[in-house]
Amino acid sequence: MTNLRTRDIVALGFMTFALFIGAGNIIFPPIVAQQAGEHVWLAAFGFLITAVGLPVITIVALSRVEGSIQLLSSPLGKAASIMLTVVCYLAVGPLFATPRTATVSYEIGFSSYFGDSSSSLLTYSIIYFALVTIISLYPNKILDTVGYFLSPLKILGLAILGLSAFFIPAGQIQPAINNYVTSPVSEGIVNGYLTMDTLGALVFGIVIVKAISSRGVTDKKLVTKYAVIASIISGIGLTLVYVSLFKLGMGSHELAPNAANGAVILHAYVQHAFGDMGAYFLSAMIFIACMVTAIGLTCACAEYFSELTKIPYKAFVFILVGFSLIISNLGLTKLIAVSVPVLSAIYPPAIVVILLSFCNKFWNKPSQVITPVTAVALIFGIFDGLKVAGFELPALLQNLPLNEQSLAWFIPSVIVLVIATVIDKVRK
């Protein structure tokens, strides 16, 4: 029985942390902090629930089923399980998340040097995805390339940025605005969704398990143990990063008043803290952050679709990267406009499946409980997605509890869970 060395466990934790931290993770906390004002830490609490808590729980859940979403969602039935798995992989893979890494890294780090033309973005994305392809073709080496090389660089950059937020403050806290005045916690929860970390965790599970297995670990209990340790390390890392970025954004009004997004705040802050060198520092950090995430997503998606279709892994790497390259050139605005409604619909059933997977032993027939709850979460998630997309919903749906916070699915799901559990116990 093979055990991982301490340095391998630490590298695994760093790799897991680095897989999660993309440009979105760096951009969202500063804008939340600026808008939340004096309620910043209440908003941060909500943000950490969905941006740290749920991803860590997801990795733990997946480690118990060999990193497979399909096994995790098996109580839904084979067809529904495959459908949920495919949708999750496509959403965080070639449709949204992977293309976003290229587009965001270009717009934040390189557009100021090379312009906003479509040809410049195309040239950049070709080079970017060529590097992603080269590393992704060798998934057994990902612990070496990401865990030992790219992750430390990424962590170093984040550490510099995080420490500067405490030692080089930007300014004074301003009053809260928008929904942060009345409901900072729930607003933080919703913004934590946008990091896509929970969906990312669903597909990263298999990457982490494969990385452990590549070191000769075959015992399932040990695989679970090491995955749990890695998720805890990454959770601590994510929390530290987010707290420092919230601190950075708190006093950013003077540097970037009424900023449209977190990228504007980051640009202004690094210029304030590091002068002209700040732009180069931010470009390098964002590039590495996005690159690591793109590699993890590509490896995970290629691994899954290869197992599903029996088409070689390397063939899928080229297919997925090629598709991501095309989508990335639609531009960030269009990409976000399409992705937000879809994510609003996907998140609720995914969260339900993850959380309820820990309760299988509690029910006589888990499928009779998990299936209806997931169905209800999906239905109300679709309503949330339609609302975000700008569709006019009936008054009844608009007045549901927590609707304004895009959490209208929560209470109906809990009600159905209670009813289904009672029926399950009565029918035993």
Q: Where are the alpha helices (DSSP H) in 97-150?
A: 97-109, 111-114, 118-136, 142
DSSP state of 11: H
Count Cβ atoms within 10 A of the Cβ of residue 72 and give its class: 0-12 exposed, 13-18 middle, 19 or more buried.
buried
Helix 118-136, helix 313-328: angle, nearest 10: 160
pLDDT at position 333 is: 65
Residue of 337, 339, 344 lying closest to 386 (CA atoms) = 344
Distance, CA of 269 to CA of 170 (rounded, Å):
7
Residue of 154, 151, 175, 364 lying closest to 253 (CA atoms) = 175
pLDDT at position 281 is: 83
The pair of three-digit structure tokens given for residue 78, joined into one six-digit string: 């084979």
Residues sharing a CB contact under 8 Å with residue 380, sequence separation 6 or more, in sequence order: 348, 400, 408, 409, 412, 413
Q: What are phi and psi of 252, to 5 degrees?
A: -85, 0
SS3 391: coil
- The single-letter code of the amino acid at 260 is A
* Contact predicate 343/389, CB 8 Å: no
Residues sharing a CB contact under 8 Å with residue 202, sequence separation 6 or more, in sequence order: 58, 62, 69, 88, 92, 350, 354
Q: Kindly list the structural domains of the chain, giving each domain's residue range(s) and its CATH number in brackets, ordered by start.
A: 6-329 (1.20.1740.10), 333-428 (no CATH)
Could you say which residues of the chain have pLDDT below 50? none
Predicted TM-score (pTM) of the model is 0.82
Query: Can you tell me which residue has the tokens 């070709």?
Result: 126
Taking the chain, what is the end-to-end CA distance rounded to the nearest angstrom?
41
The pair of three-digit structure tokens given for residue 168, joined into one six-digit string: 């080089």
Distance, CA of 286 to CA of 281 (rounded, Å):
9
Chain centroid offset of residue 261 CA: 18
Residue of 186, 198, 223, 296 lying closest to 9 (CA atoms) = 223
* Longest Cα–Cα distance in the chain: 69
Residues sharing a CB contact under 8 Å with residue 199, sequence separation 6 or more, in sequence order: 88, 91, 92, 97, 343, 346, 347, 350
Residues sharing a CB contact under 8 Å with residue 382, sequence separation 6 or more, in sequence order: 345
